[in-house]
């Protein structure tokens, strides 16, 4: 440890840090473009210049290591003058695209020009023109004119993805970012360069021109694309999800997320094939009905079968709370056959983030009780027992089991199929009762990732269920719920319900005396009754998650 002084404040810091790292750790912001905590130092933007006593010239904070007794000034007259000059230099050829640029509101150059620059230029000749709307790959568009040559995107491909695809060509003010000859920017993490780009040079082809950042709400969420459970922010306007971006978590995904998770885990939520209300099959057709009728029908049918004739399939896509109540309901009515379907893809994993388990909560589902007591009750045996007529009624939550051809052909043998579904899918075609369930973007809950980390999921868009809940809330609870945001009042709203709440309603008709007012009540019971979750609460999970107690036996069966 060494003692240094930054802007007349003394700090004790590790001796292997650079000035910008030491300042950042102590809440002092030094403007920067090219520096990033996880990338190598390039030192080419020069906007992080600071004054260090006894050094003859200004130094770049990103590449200068701290030393005992070092005295640093980040806002001296000399630093301010140099910073103004650097920004003036960067802005010489930068186009005035702010009104149409997708980066507006999140642009470092925009922010720094406003905060640190003098707001005028001594240069009056024509700007250098460079290519616009260049497709670097399937997901990323480049506006070369806006590029300030920070090289973050190049270093990301080289150092993080280990797949060099981007390079600078030409020299001087003619430098251009491009791909290597014959290459495209098409790796699994290509869209992270959009987040890294400090200006609007690299933009998302999917999100391009859809909205400005100030027109959207952002909600902390979890990616459901695989068992990694990357931390994300979900961006919403008019109750519609427009994009997902990664949220920093040093224990899960650092600053990154894969392109698949970014693009393919929310499109079904906005899809026109959403199920907007519960349905019952009448005269061979599924008809929209009210919730009371649908739940009464589900409970009545479950009552009419012997417990040995009923099987249940939880879901690795459902939350811990959903699966816990599913297991509890089956235990209440004496059903032994309960399991869930794994979703594995051994060919689609890597050493960065992607896991072979393509569901977010396999570990959690098992841990809270959705697992067979013996192998005779596993999902493979459940399918066999449907074939041979032993299982006549099947209850499935939040999983399109019929997308598996080996399962689809046996479902017509069932007398009764009850499912929870958010979208029309193959399983819906065989169902007798469809209960319209909320997606992960519409409900509270928790997921447990492959390493045993429990993480909170929060609703980013509103349903009619939220409106009913909000009508009964006090003002203090409204603020805690996040209902002060106008995302709860605008846009299309569907009459869907969280799976745990649907199960709770069915259980009430079947005679259970459960009392859960909200999802947190269910989790508190999990924490009290499931050993691995003992001591946890929503507040302890927080924004970065919390590890559950994992035994050696549990560790062996993790997916």
Q: Which residue from 77, 70, 68 is spatially nearest to 54, judged by alpha carbons?
A: 70
Is residue 146 a contact partner of residue 96, using CB atoms and an 8 Å limit?
no
d(CA 14, CA 121): 40
Question: Is the Cβ–Cβ distance between 419 and 433 less than 8 Å?
Answer: yes
Task: CATH number for 279-461+498-557: choose from 3.40.50.740, 3.30.465.10, 3.40.50.300, 3.40.50.720.
Answer: 3.40.50.740
Kindly report the average pLDDT of the chain as a whole number.
Answer: 92
pLDDT at 466: 73
Residue indicated by tokens 């399918």: 383
Q: What is the pLDDT of residue 172?
A: 87
Q: Please, which residues have CB within 8 angstroms of residue 263's CB and are 6 or more apart in sequence?
A: 139, 191, 206
- Please state the φ and ψ torsions of residue 323, each to the nearest 5 degrees: -70, -35
| CB-based contact 447:457 (threshold 8 Å) | yes
Handedness of CA 466, 471, 472, 476 (dihedral sign): positive
pLDDT band at residue 559 using 50, 70 and 90 as cut-offs? very low
pLDDT band per the 50, 70, 90 thresholds, residue 557: very low
Cα–Cα distances in angstroms (integers) from residue 459 to residues 255, 410, 453, in the given order: 22, 36, 20
| pLDDT at residue 255 tops 80 | yes
More confident residue, 93 or 28: 28
222 pLDDT higher than 50: yes
User: What is the band of 483 on the pLDDT scale with cuts at 50, 70, 90?
Assistant: very low
How far is CA 393 from its chain centroid?
35
Give helix 519-529 / helix 320-333 axis angle, nearest 10°: 70
In the chain, % of residues over pLDDT 90: 85
Residue 552 has pLDDT above 50, yes or no: no
Position 476 scores a pLDDT of: 52
Residue 491: pLDDT over 90? no
As beta bridge partners, residue 166 has 179
pLDDT of 191 strictly over 50 = yes
Percent of the chain at pLDDT exceeding 70: 94
302 pLDDT tier (thresholds 50, 70, 90): very high
Instruction: List the Cα angle 328/329/330 in 5-degree steps.
Output: 95
- Residue 304 makes CB contacts below 8 A (sequence gap 6+) with none
Mean pLDDT of 188-197: 97
Task: With beta carbons less than 8 A apart as the criterion, state whether 257 and 246 touch.
Answer: yes
- Is the predicted pLDDT of residue 345 greater than 50, yes or no? yes
For the stretch 377-422, pLDDT in tens is: 999 999 999 999 999 999 999 999 999 988 999 999 999 999 999 9
Long-range residue pairs from 296-303, CB within 8 A, at least 24 positions apart, any chain? 296/509, 297/433, 298/418, 298/433, 298/435, 298/506, 299/506, 299/509, 299/510, 301/393, 301/416, 301/418, 301/432, 301/433, 302/333, 302/393, 302/395, 302/418, 302/506, 302/510, 303/510
pLDDT of residue 485 exceeding 80:
no
pLDDT at 368: 96
pLDDT at position 486 is 53
Q: Does residue 436 surpass a pLDDT of 50?
A: yes
Closest-CA residue to 541 (of 446, 442, 439, 443)? 446
Which ranges in 427-543 belong to alpha helices (H)?
464-471, 475-481, 499-509, 519-529, 538-541
- Asked if 63 and 48 touch (Cβ cutoff 8 Å), the reply is no
**C-alpha distances in Å from residue 110, one per residue of 113, 237, 332, 353:** 5, 23, 60, 32
Helices (H), 320-392: 320-333, 362-367, 379-387
Q: Return the closest-CA partner of residue 262 out of 285, 287, 233, 283.
A: 233
Q: Is the pLDDT of residue 351 over 90?
A: yes
Strands 433-436, 279-282: parallel, antiparallel or unpaired by DSSP? antiparallel
Kindly tell me if the per-residue pLDDT of 341 is higher than 50: yes
pLDDT of 558 strictly over 50: no
Q: Which residues contact 315 (CB under 8 A, 6 or more apart)?
A: 322, 323, 340, 341, 359, 361, 365, 370, 396, 397, 398, 399
* pLDDT value at 551 more than 90: no
Q: 124-270, what's its fold?
A: Alpha-Beta Plaits (3.30.70)
Spell out the domain ranges in the chain. Answer: 2-90, 124-270, 279-461+498-557
State the Cα–Cα distance between residues 342 and 429, nearest whole angstrom. 22
pLDDT digits (tens, 9 = 90+) for 516-540: 999 999 999 999 999 999 999 999 9
Mean pLDDT score, 319-329: 98
Worst-scoring range by mean pLDDT, 10-24, 91-105, 453-467, 542-556? 542-556
- Better pLDDT: 550 or 493: 493
Dist. CA 74–CA 6, nearest whole Å = 7
The domain defined by 2-90 folds into Ubiquitin-like (UB roll) (3.10.20)
Instruction: Return the SS3 of 222.
Output: strand
- Local confidence band at 120 (pLDDT 50, 70, 90 cut-offs): confident
Average pLDDT over residues 75-95: 93
Lowest mean pLDDT among 118-127, 192-201, 273-282: 118-127
């Amino acid at each position: 440890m060494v003692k240094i002084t930054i802007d007349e404040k003394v700090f004790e810091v590790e001796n292997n840090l650079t000035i910008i790292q030491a300042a950042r750790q102590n809440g002092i912001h030094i403007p920067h473009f090219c520096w990033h905590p996880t990338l190598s130092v390039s030192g080419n933007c020069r906007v992080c210049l600071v004054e260090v006593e006894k050094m003859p010239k200004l130094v770049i904070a990103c590449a200068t290591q701290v030393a005992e007794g070092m005295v640093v000034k980040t806002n001296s007259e000399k630093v301010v003058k140099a910073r103004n000059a650097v920004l003036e230099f960067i802005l010489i050829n930068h186009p005035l695209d702010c009104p149409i640029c997708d980066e507006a509101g999140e642009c470092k150059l925009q922010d720094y020009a406003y905060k640190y620059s003098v707001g005028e230029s001594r240069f009056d000749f024509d700007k250098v023109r460079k290519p616009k709307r260049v497709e670097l790959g399937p997901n990323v568009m480049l506006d070369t004119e806006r590029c300030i040559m920070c090289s973050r995107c190049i270093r990301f491909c080289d150092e993080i993805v280990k797949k060099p695809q981007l390079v600078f060509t030409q020299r001087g003010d003619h430098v251009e970012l491009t791909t290597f000859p014959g290459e495209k920017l098409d790796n699994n993490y290509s869209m992270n360069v959009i987040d890294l780009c400090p200006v609007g040079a690299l933009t998302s082809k999917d999100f391009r021109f859809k909205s400005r950042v100030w027109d959207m709400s952002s909600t902390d969420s979890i990616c459901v694309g695989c068992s990694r459970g990357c931390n994300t922010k979900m961006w919403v306007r008019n109750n519609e999800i427009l994009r997902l971006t990664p949220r920093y978590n040093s224990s899960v995904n650092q600053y990154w997320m894969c392109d698949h998770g970014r693009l393919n885990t929310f499109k079904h939520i906005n899809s026109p094939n959403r199920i907007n209300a519960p349905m019952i099959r009448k005269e061979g057709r599924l008809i929209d009905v009210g919730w009371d009728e649908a739940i009464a029908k589900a409970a009545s049918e479950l009552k009419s079968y012997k417990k040995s004739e009923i099987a249940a399939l939880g879901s690795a896509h459902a939350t811990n709370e959903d699966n816990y109540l599913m297991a509890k309901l089956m235990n209440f009515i004496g059903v032994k056959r309960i399991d869930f379907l794994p979703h594995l893809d051994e060919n689609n994993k890597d050493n960065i983030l992607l896991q072979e388990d393509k569901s977010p909560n396999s570990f959690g589902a098992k841990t809270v009780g959705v697992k067979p007591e013996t192998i005779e009750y596993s999902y493979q045996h459940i399918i066999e027992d449907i074939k041979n007529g032993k299982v006549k009624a099947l209850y499935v939550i939040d999983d399109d089991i019929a997308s598996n051809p080996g399962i689809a052909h046996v479902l017509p043998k069932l007398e009764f199929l009850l499912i929870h579904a958010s979208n029309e899918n193959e399983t819906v075609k065989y169902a007798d009762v469809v209960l319209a369930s909320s997606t992960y973007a519409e409900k509270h809950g928790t997921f447990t990732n492959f390493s045993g980390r429990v993480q909170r999921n929060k609703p980013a868009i509103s349903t009619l269920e939220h409106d009913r809940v909000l009508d009964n809330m006090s003002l203090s609870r409204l603020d805690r719920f996040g209902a002060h945001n106008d995302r709860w009042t605008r846009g299309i709203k569907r009459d869907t319900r969280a799976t745990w709440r649907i199960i709770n309603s069915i259980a009430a008709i079947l005679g259970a005396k459960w009392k859960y007012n909200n999802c947190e009540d269910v989790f508190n019971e999990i924490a009290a009754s499931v050993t691995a979750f003992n001591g946890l609460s929503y507040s302890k999970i927080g924004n970065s998650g919390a590890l559950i107690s994992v035994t050696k036996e549990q560790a062996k069966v993790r997916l």
